[in-house]
Structure 1
Amino acid sequence: MSQTLTTQKTTIEGREETSFSTLCLLRDDSCLVQSNFCPLPSASCLSEKHLKQIESQKTPFNSVFQGGMESYSEGTVVAWRDAIARWEEALAIARNERDREQEALTLYWLGLVHFNLKELKTSADYYTQVLSIYEENGDLHSQASILNTLAQIHATWGEYQNAFDTYDRALKLWQAAKFRTGEAATLNNIGFVYADLGDFNQALDYYQNAFNLVENLGNPINIAATLNNLGRVYSDSGKGDKALSTYNQALALWREAENVPGEASTLNNIGFIYANRNNWTKAQEYYNQALPLWQQVGDKAGEASTLTNLGVVAANQGNPQNALERYNTALTFRRQVRDRAKEALTLYRIALAQRDLNNLDEAQRQIEAALKIIEDLRGNVARSDLRATFFASKQDYYEFYIDLLMERHKQQPQAGYDRLALQASERTRARTLLEVLREANADIRQGVNPELLAQEQQLQRQLSVMEEQRIKRLSGKSGSASAENLDLEIESAIEQYRQVRAKIRATSPRYAALTQPEPLNVQQIQQQVLDKDTMLLEYFVGEKRSYLWAVTDNELVSYELPGRDEIQSLAKEYRRLLTSPAHRRRIKTVAAAQSKLSNAILKPVADRIQGKRLLIVSHDILQYVPFAALSVSGTTGEEETPPLIVEHEIVSLPSASTLAILRQEQNTRSRATKDLAIFADPVFGSNDDRLSKTEAFEQTLPAELEASARAAGVNLSRLPFTKVEADNISALVSQEQTRGAIGFEANRVLATSQELSQYRMIHFATHGLLNSQNPELSGLVLTLFDSQGQPQNGFLRMHELFNLTLPADLVVLSACETGLGERVRGEGLIGLTRGFMYAGAARVVVSLWNVDDRGTAELMAKFYQQMLQQGLSPSAALRQAQIEMWQTEEWKSPFYWAGFTLQGEWK
C-alpha cells in the first residue's frame, strides 16, 4: 500500500444544507413554504376550495387526482410511482377538457413528486409548464413558489448564474406580495448557493436574514432548516462549538416535528463536526444514525452524502478498500440526481482511496474526471469574485493531483509527469485574472440591455456619493457611529454592483463570443513567455510536500521542497525580522533567517540560475517574500551574503500564463503620447500645516477620519518625502511631457479623468488602503480635503480602476503594501495590481510592506534615473536601483529596497 497519503481530509462538501422548496400552493404559512426535509405534503396541503371540489364532485378528473393524492400521502417510493401514474392520467383529462386550473394543479404535483425522487430534469419540465400558466393568470405566489424550486434545480446542476437570476425573480415576487415566509425561503436558498460557492460571509448574511423572518413567523420546521444552514457557516468559519450548539437546536426541532429527512441532515452535519476534530468514532456514530433515515425516506442525495462521509471515516481508520466501496455507491447516487459538484467530490474521494491502495493509474483517472467537472462548473459562474471563491474551495483537488503527478514522476522520471504537474499548477493560478484581462479589451457592454448598463452606472455613482458622505460624516459631528451605518450600505451596494456586472457578462454577446483563455502548457510557456536569458521559477506549496519547477526555453527541471508548515514558519520569521523596527538593521540576525529560507526554497536550483533573468511565480506564503533579498550562496551562519538581485533581474508574475495574455492585449492597445504623470504628497489630515492655513479647516474634525483609516491598517500621516520624490523624478523629464499633481492637486478627480490616459508612466506616491473582505474597496488614498479645507472623497478604489483606460507602459505604486490584497487560494493576491493591469498597464511596481518614506524617495530617484537617463528597461532599472541601495550603508538593510517588486511585462 502506498504510504504517501495516510489521512483523507474532511471538506466543506461533507455537510448537508436544508434548501427550502415551496411545496404547496395554499396561502397558509405553515404549509406553503416547507423544507425539502419536512413531512411530505398530503391532501391537506390543497386549498379548501379544491378539497371541497374533489370530495363533493365525482368527476373523472377529481377521482383520478384524489387517488394520486392518497398514494402520495403514503410517503413511500412505490406509492409515489403510483401517484405519478394517476396524475399523468389526470393531466390528460384536464388538457382534454381544457381546464387550465386543473392542468396547473396536476403539473405542480407531478413536478413536486419528481423533485422529491431527485428526477430533476423531469421535475423542471413540469415546473416550467406550470409557471407559464401562473404567469398567464397573474398568480404571484405560485410563480414565486415555482421559481424558487426551479432555482434549486439550477443550483444542483451547477448552473449557478441561472440559480441566482431565478431566485432573484422569486424574491422580488415574494417581496411585492409582502409574503414573508416565501421571502425567507428564497433568502435561505440564496445563502445555500453562496455557501456552495465558498462565499461564507454572504451565505451568513442571507441565512441570518432568513432566520430573523422565520423566527418571527414561528414555523419550527423553517426555523430548524435555517439553523441547520447557519450551523454549516459557523463550522466553516472555525466556530465548531457554536456550530454544534446550533445543530443541536435544529435536531431538537426536527425530532419534535417527527421530520425524518431534517433529522438525517443535521445528524450528518454533527458527524462532520466530530470528523473535523479527528474524533472518528463519534463521527461514525452520528453518520450511522443518519444513514438509515435517508434510506427510510428514499433520499439518494442525502444517502450519498453520508456514505461519502462514512468512507472518509473508513479511510482515516486505515481501511481504504471499505472507503472505496462506500464512495462507489455514493457516486451512483450522485449521478442519478445529476449533482455535479458532489459527483466531483466523490470522484476526488475515490482518487484518494485508489492512491492509498497504490492504484496510481486509477487515482489519476478519477481525479482528472473530478477536475473536468470542476472546470465545467466554474465556467457556469458569471461573477468573477464568486468564480474565485468557488475555485478556492476546490484547491485541495488540484493539490492532490499535483502531488500524485510528482509522485509518479519520482517513479518514472522520463514519463513527463512533472510537465503535467506544472501545467496543473498553472491551472490553479490567477484564472479570474486571465479572464478579466481578456475581457478588458472586448467592449463586453456592446449589445447589452441598456437598463443593465444604466444600473451599473447608477451603482458606480452611488458608491462614489456614499464614499463622499462617509468622509463628511467622519469629519463632522456625527462621527464614526454614523459612518459605520453607511459602511453597511456601501457593502450592500458593492454586492448589487457585483450582481449587475455578472448579469452584464451573462447577457453580453461580445462576452459570449470571447474565447476564454486557457492556461499555457509547458511548450507554450517556453515559446510565448521565455527566451534564452530567462528562467521561470514556479512554486507550489503543498501540505506535506512543496514543489519548484525551473523552466528555460528548452528545459524543465523539478524539485521537491518541504511542506507548508515548514515553509510558512521560515517565511514568516524572515518577514517578521526584516520589517520589524527592532530587528531590520540587525544585519546578521536577518541574514540568518534569510539563509534558512533561501536554503529551503532556492538552494536546490542554485546551480541552474546563473546568468538568468528570473520570473518568479510564487504561491501561498511565498507571495509575501522579497525574492530580491534572498541568496543562493548556501551559507548557514549569520554572515552577510550578496542578495539575489546582484546577479539577477527579478520579475514577479501571478502565473506564467498571465504574461502571455498581457502581451496579447497590449498589442491591440493604442500607445500613450506623453511621458509622466505623478501624484505625490496628498493632504490627509490634522497634522498637515497646509490645512491649518484654510479658513474652513477649524470646522472639521479629521481625527475621526484618521481613526477610521487606522482601523483599516492605514496611518494617514503626511508623507513629506514624497514631494522630494516627485521633484527628483520630474527633473528627469521635460516639463511639457510631465503632469505633476502635488498636494491638493493629487486628487481623485484627476486620477479618474481621461487626461491620465495620455501618459506612458504614472506614479502614485501615497498611502495604500487594503480591504480584504471587499477587495473592490481597496485603493489608494489621495487628497482628502480641497483647497478650502472641505473634506472630499480622496479614495481611488479598485472598482473604479476597472472603468479607467490607462494604456501605460508602467504604473508605480510608491505606497505602503500596494502589492498585497486578499489572498484567495487559486487566485493569489487580489489587490491593486490586477486593477491597473485591467485598466491597461503593461507592468506595475508595487510594495510588499509599509515602506520607509525617505528610503523610498531615494530608491525611486535611482529607479527613474536608470530608466530615463541610462535607457534600462523597468525591471533592469529596478534591479540596478536596488543594488545601489544595498551598496549604501544607510540603506543596506533589505527593508528599505527589497519590498518593491515589478509585476508584469519584463521586456
Structure 2
Amino acid sequence: MKGIKGVFKYLFLVVLGLFLVIGGPVFGENKPGDFLEAGRVFYQEGRFFDAVKVWQQGEEVYEKEGNFVKQVLALSYVANGYEALGNLGPAFGAIEQGLKVILNLEESQEKSQVYAKILMSQGSVQLARGEAEAALNSWQLAEKVYASLDDKVGVLGSQVNQAQALQSLGFYRQAKNLLENVYEAQKLQPDSLLKASSVQSLGVALQKVGDLQKSQEVLEESLAVLLRLNAGNEQGAVLLSLGNTARGLKDYSRALDYYHKTAEIARDNLLKIEAKVNELSLLVELEKWGEAKILVEEIKPEIGSLPVRRSAVYAMVNFAQSLIKIPDAEKNLPEVAKILANAVQQAKSKQDRRAESYALFQLGSLYENTQQLKEARSLTLQAIALAEAISAEDILARSQANLGKILKEQGEIAAATNAYKEAVETLQTLRRNLVAINQDVQFSFQESVEPVYRELVSLLLDPAAVPDQQVSQENLKQARLVIEALQLAELDNFFREACLDVKPQQVEKIDPKAAVIYPIILAEKLTVIFSLPARPLQYYSTDLAKPEVEKVVDDYYQSFNILFPTAKRLELAQKVYHWLVEPAEEELAASDIQTLVFVPDGVLRNVPMAALYDGQKYLIEKYSLAITPGLQLLPPQILDKSNLKTLTGGLTEARQGFGALPAVKLEVENISSEVPATVFLNQEFTEKRLQERLLSSGYSVVHFATHGQFSSNPEETFILTWDEKIKVREFENLLRSRSREENPIELLVLSACQTAAGDRRAALGLAGVAMRSGARSTMGTLWSVQDLSTAKLMSEFYEQLTLTGVSKASALRHAQLSLLKQDRFSHPFYWAAFILVGNWL
C-alpha cells in the first residue's frame, strides 16, 4: 500500500490550517510573503528543506521584532520540518529553544495556543526518537491546554496522536478505544474542510492500528463531508486512502475502483500519478499483466516531470519496483535505472535524507539484480549510512538485508551472515511499529520481512559456510531463535500489531519427556532442528525446493477427504513423516520421549501431524502431540484437576447461513457429565451473555461448539454465536476479565471450526486465536469434522482430562485413539483435524 500521507503530517497541516488559513488572534490576517504561510506551502508540496529555511528566517525576524509568540510557532514548525527530513537532533533543538522562549511570556490565550502547538511538535519528535511514553505525556498535556481553550479540534488531534503513542507502547485496545471516541466526537462537529481533513487522518490512523473496517467507515464519512460541501478538489486524497484500506481488506476490485476515481478527479498531477502507481502495484500483485502494461505506458510520460518533493520520489521508486516485477522486465531495466537515479538526485537536491536513502536502497537492489555487484554494494552502503543517521529502521533493515545478499553473491559468507543478523535485529526493534511504517514506502511482509529471517537461517545452517563443514551449536541455537522470532513476526503481521511479549522457555524445565521439532522451509531444502531435554540441538535436512514441499503438503491436506484413495493418502503421510520425524526416531526412543511438540513453519501449520505414518503406525499411536508458535509460552503450569470448571456454549440450529450442528447437544451433555459445566445453547449463546458469565465466575476451561473459521486474514477469522461473528481481534475483549499472567484460562476449545479452504497461511488464524484469547492452551480443528464423531471425541477427552497424571496432550491423544479404534470413525478425517496449540501439560 502506498500513497497514504502520514497521520502526523495531516495533523500538522490541520493545526497550521487553524492558524494560517482561518487566521485568529495570534497572527491577525495573513499577508503575502508571510514566513509561516510560505513555509506551509513548501511543506504541503513536500519541499521540507525549503520550508525549514523559510521558517528559520521567520524565527530570526520575529525575534528581532519582539513577536515572541510567532517566534515560538516558527520554531515548532522548524521542528516539524526537520523531523520530516529525518534530522531529529535539530528538530529537538528547535523544540527546546521554543520552550525556553515561551516560559518568559506572560499568560494569555495566545501563549496557550502556541504552547499547545509546540507540545504537539515535541510529541511528534519524541515518538520519532522512539520515546513513546514521553510523546504520550506531551500530547496529554497538549490536550489539557486545548481543552482549557475550548479548542475541540486541537483536543481531537492530540487524542489521535495519543493513540499512536499508545500503539507504540503496546496498548492497542486503549488506542482503538480512544480512536473510536474521537470518531464519535468528530460526528458532532459541523461540516468543514478542516473536519473532513481531520476525519481522514483518523481513518488513516485506524488503518495503522489494523481496524480496517472502522477505517473504511471513517474515510467514507470524510468523503461524505466533502460531498456535502461540494469540495471536489479535496476528494482525491480521501479516495486514495479508501483504496488503500480496501486493499488491506483484500477487496481488490473496490480498491482498483477507488484508484481509478482518484486519477479521474485529481487536479494535482502528483496525486493522479500516486493513484496510478498504487493501481499498478495492485495489478502486478494480482498478476493482471495485460492491464498493468497498459497502465505503465500511461505513467511513463508523466513520472519524470513530477514536482520535486518527497512524495514524488516515493512515486518514482514505487513505479520502478512495479516495473521490475512485470514479465520480460529486462527490457525495462535501463529505464528503471534512469528513474531511480533521478529519484536519488531529486531527494539529494532537497536534502531529504529519508527519501534519498530509500531511493539509494532501491537503486542498489536493481544493480544487485543485474549482477553489477560492486556498484550495488556501494549504493547499498550509502543507503545504510543515511538510514542509520536518521534512524529510518524500515529502510535500514531492508538495506542491511540487501547488503547481505550482495556479500553472499561475492562469496563473503561470514560478512553476509553478519549483515543478515543486523537486518533481523533491526526488524526486531521495529516489531511494534512494523505496520505503522510510512506507507508511502512499499513494505510487504512476505516480500520484505519474511525472506530476511529465512536467509539468515539458511546461512546459519549451511555446512559449506563454516570451516569444519559442521553446523555449530551456537548456529543451531541462533537459527532456532530466528525462526521463533519469525513465527511471532508473522502473528504481528496477522494482527497488524505486536500481539505478545514473551520469554523463551527451556524444554527440560517444561517437560523432560517432550521433544521439540522445528521444521524450517528454506528456498532449496527442508531443514529440521530438534531439541531433546538435556541434549545438544540436532538437525537434519532434505534437499527439496520450497514449491515441491508446498505441493506435497497441499496434496496431503486434500487427502483427508473420505473419497481420497487410502493408499495415496498413506503414501503422502509417510513422505512427510520421512521428512520431519524419521531421522530422529532412534534419538526419540533412546530419550523415552512421550510428547512431540512441533513448531511448524509456513504451509506445515496446516499439516495434521497426528496422521503422519511410519509405514505401520500413525504418529498419534506413538506420541502425544502439540503445536506451538515457539517455546514462547505463558509460564508453564500443570492443569489443576480439582478445578475443571467449564463454560460451554454452542449452536445446534442453523444460523447466519451456516448449517445445523444437532450433535452439539450431545457434545455439551457429555461434557457436563464429566466436568462441572455452565451451558449456553442457541439463543443464550451470545457474546454479551458469555462475557457476563466470565466476569462473574472463574472458569478454567472455555468450550465453544459452533461454526468458525481460521484464516490468514483476521477479518475472516471468527467463531459464530447466535447473533454475530466474534472476530479474532475481539477475543481479548470477550475474555478480558481474565489476567494473562495471574489467572489465564487454562484451555480454550473450539470444536467445530475449520481453516479457510485454499489458504496456505490459514492456520495463522488458529495461532492468532490461541494468542489473543490469553489461554494457556487452545484446541481447534483444521477442518470441519462430523459433529457426532466430535461429540464422542470430546466426551473421551474430558473423561481423560479428569484423570490424575494425564496432560492435555495425552488426553487428546487418547480421545483420538478412541475414534481410530472404532471402525465407523477410524478414518483420520474424523480424528486427525484436532490439534492442541500452546501449553501441552
TM over 0.5: yes
Cα contact 1:144–1:174 (8 A) shared by 2: no
Mapped partners of 2:737, 2:108: distance in 1? 45
Q: Deviations over 1:828-860 (max 9, x none)?
A: 744433344x1xx43332211111112212222
Mapped partners of 1:738, 1:198: distance in 2? 36
Kindly tell me: are residues 78 and 544 of structure 1, through their superposed partners in 2, closer, same or farther at Cα, counting changes over 3 Å? closer
Q: Deviations over 1:798-822 (max 9, x none)?
A: 2443324375543332213289999
Q: Secondary structure of 1:428's match?
A: helix
Q: What amino acid maps onto 1:874 in structure 2? A: K
> What are the within-5 Å matches in structure 2 for residues 538-549 of structure 1?
538-549=518-529
Matched, 1:398 2:459: no
Residue 636 of structure 2 corresponds to: 663
Cα contact 1:816–1:847 (8 A) shared by 2: yes
Residue 597 of structure 2 corresponds to: 615
Of residues 560, 567, 578 in structure 2, which corresponds to 1:599?
Answer: 578
Aligned residues: 725
Matched, 1:768 2:708: yes
TM-superposed CA distance for 1:290, in Å, is 3.7
Cα contact 1:111–1:127 (8 A) shared by 2: yes
Q: Secondary structure of 2:404's match?
A: helix
Alignment root-mean-square deviation, CA: 5.3
Kindly tell me: are residues 148 and 310 of structure 1, through their superposed partners in 2, closer, same or farther at Cα, counting changes over 3 Å? farther
Mapped partners of 1:587, 1:25: distance in 2? 66
Q: Deviations over 1:762-818 (max 9, x none)?
A: 43333224565445x844334x3xxxxxxx558585244332437554333221328
Mapped partners of 1:236, 1:157: distance in 2? 35
Cα contact 1:280–1:313 (8 A) shared by 2: no
Q: What amino acid maps onto 2:71 in structure 1? A: E
Cα contact 1:539–1:549 (8 A) shared by 2: yes
> What are the within-5 Å matches in structure 2 for residues 441-480 of structure 1?
none
Q: What amino acid maps onto 2:323 in structure 1? A: Y
Q: Deviations over 1:259-304 (max 9, x none)?
A: 5765544332221112223624414422323423542524443333
Q: Secondary structure of 2:538's match?
A: strand
Q: Deviations over 1:112-141 (max 9, x none)?
A: 764676534324553687799899756999
TM-superposed CA distance for 1:582, in Å, is 2.7
Mapped partners of 1:221, 1:181: distance in 2? 23
Cα contact 2:708–2:754 (8 A) shared by 1: yes
Residue 833 of structure 1 corresponds to: 770
Matched, 1:589 2:568: yes
- Structure 2: give runs of 5+ residues left out of the alignment: 140-156, 163-178, 224-234, 240-261
Rg bigger for which structure?
Answer: 1
Mapped partners of 2:734, 2:117: distance in 1? 40
Mapped partners of 2:725, 2:58: distance in 1? 67
Residue 888 of structure 1 corresponds to: 822
Mapped partners of 1:420, 1:258: distance in 2? 47
Residue 517 of structure 2 corresponds to: 537
Residue 373 of structure 1 corresponds to: 426
Mapped partners of 1:206, 1:761: distance in 2? 38
Cα contact 1:646–1:883 (8 A) shared by 2: yes
Q: Secondary structure of 2:391's match?
A: coil
Of residues 665, 672, 677 in structure 2, which corresponds to 1:730?
Answer: 672
Residue 362 of structure 1 corresponds to: 415
Q: Deviations over 1:521-550 (max 9, x none)?
A: xxx52443341x221111222233332111
Kindly tell me: are residues 655 and 801 of structure 1, through their superposed partners in 2, closer, same or farther at Cα, counting changes over 3 Å? farther
Of residues 601, 605, 614 in structure 2, which corresponds to 1:632?
Answer: 614
Residue 323 of structure 1 corresponds to: 376
Judge which range, 328-337 or 197-206, deviates more: 197-206
Q: Secondary structure of 2:708's match?
A: strand
> What are the within-5 Å matches in structure 2 for residues 180-579 of structure 1?
180=193, 184=197, 187=200, 191=204, 211=236, 213=238, 219-221=267-269, 223-224=271-272, 226-227=274-275, 230-231=278-279, 234=282, 237-238=285-286, 258-259=307-308, 263-277=312-326, 279-296=329-346, 297-298=349-350, 299-379=352-432, 394-407=449-462, 408=465, 411-414=469-472, 416-430=474-488, 517=501, 519-520=503-504, 525-531=506-512, 533-555=513-535, 556-561=537-542, 562-578=544-560
Residue 787 of structure 1 corresponds to: none
Query: RCO greater where, 1 or 2, for CA within 8 Å and sep 6 or more?
Result: 1
Q: Secondary structure of 1:582's match?
A: coil
TM-superposed CA distance for 1:381, in Å, is 7.1
Q: Secondary structure of 1:657's match?
A: coil
Mapped partners of 1:647, 1:25: distance in 2? 65
Length-normalised TM-score, structure 1: 0.67
Cα contact 2:360–2:379 (8 A) shared by 1: yes
Q: What amino acid maps onto 2:271 in structure 1? A: I
TM-superposed CA distance for 1:644, in Å, is 0.6
Mapped partners of 2:217, 2:296: distance in 1? 18
Of residues 677, 687, 692 in structure 2, which corresponds to 1:753?
Answer: 692
Residue 107 of structure 1 corresponds to: 75
Q: Secondary structure of 1:766's match?
A: strand
Mapped partners of 2:108, 2:299: distance in 1? 39
Kindly tell me: are residues 807 and 332 of structure 1, through their superposed partners in 2, closer, same or farther at Cα, counting changes over 3 Å? closer
TM-superposed CA distance for 1:628, in Å, is 0.7
Cα contact 1:538–1:548 (8 A) shared by 2: yes
Mapped partners of 1:358, 1:435: distance in 2? 33
TM-superposed CA distance for 1:435, in Å, is 14
Q: What amino acid maps onto 1:766 in structure 2? A: T
Mapped partners of 1:363, 1:781: distance in 2? 49
TM-superposed CA distance for 1:574, in Å, is 1.0
Mapped partners of 2:486, 2:763: distance in 1? 5
Q: Secondary structure of 2:636's match?
A: helix
Residue 172 of structure 2 corresponds to: none
- Structure 1: give runs of 5+ residues left out of the alignment: 1-11, 34-45, 55-61, 437-494, 506-515, 634-640, 686-704, 707-715, 785-791
Cα contact 1:17–1:232 (8 A) shared by 2: no
Judge which range, 390-399 or 254-263, deviates more: 254-263
Residue 855 of structure 1 corresponds to: 789
Among all aligned residue pairs of Structure 1 and Structure 2, give the percentage whose two residues are the same amino acid: 18
Cα contact 1:823–1:830 (8 A) shared by 2: no
Cα contact 1:535–1:552 (8 A) shared by 2: yes
Mapped partners of 1:412, 1:232: distance in 2? 46
Judge which range, 319-328 or 94-103, deviates more: 94-103
TM-superposed CA distance for 1:349, in Å, is 0.9
Cα contact 2:200–2:238 (8 A) shared by 1: no
Mapped partners of 1:233, 1:154: distance in 2? 33
> What are the within-5 Å matches in structure 2 for residues 802-881 of structure 1?
802-805=735-738, 808-817=745-754, 829-836=766-773, 838=774, 841-868=775-802, 872-881=806-815
Residue 731 of structure 2 corresponds to: 798
TM-superposed CA distance for 1:239, in Å, is 6.0
Q: What amino acid maps onto 2:691 in structure 1? A: T
Mapped partners of 1:601, 1:314: distance in 2? 39
TM-superposed CA distance for 1:869, in Å, is 6.2
Of residues 720, 726, 741 in structure 1, which corresponds to 2:662?
Answer: 720
Judge which range, 162-171 or 287-296, deviates more: 162-171
Cα contact 1:843–1:903 (8 A) shared by 2: yes
TM-superposed CA distance for 1:725, in Å, is 2.8
Length-normalised TM-score, structure 2: 0.71
Cα contact 1:630–1:643 (8 A) shared by 2: yes
Q: Secondary structure of 2:660's match?
A: coil
Cα contact 1:207–1:226 (8 A) shared by 2: no
Of residues 594, 600, 617 in structure 2, which corresponds to 1:642?
Answer: 617
Q: Secondary structure of 2:423's match?
A: helix
Of residues 160, 183, 190 in structure 2, which corresponds to 1:168?
Answer: 160
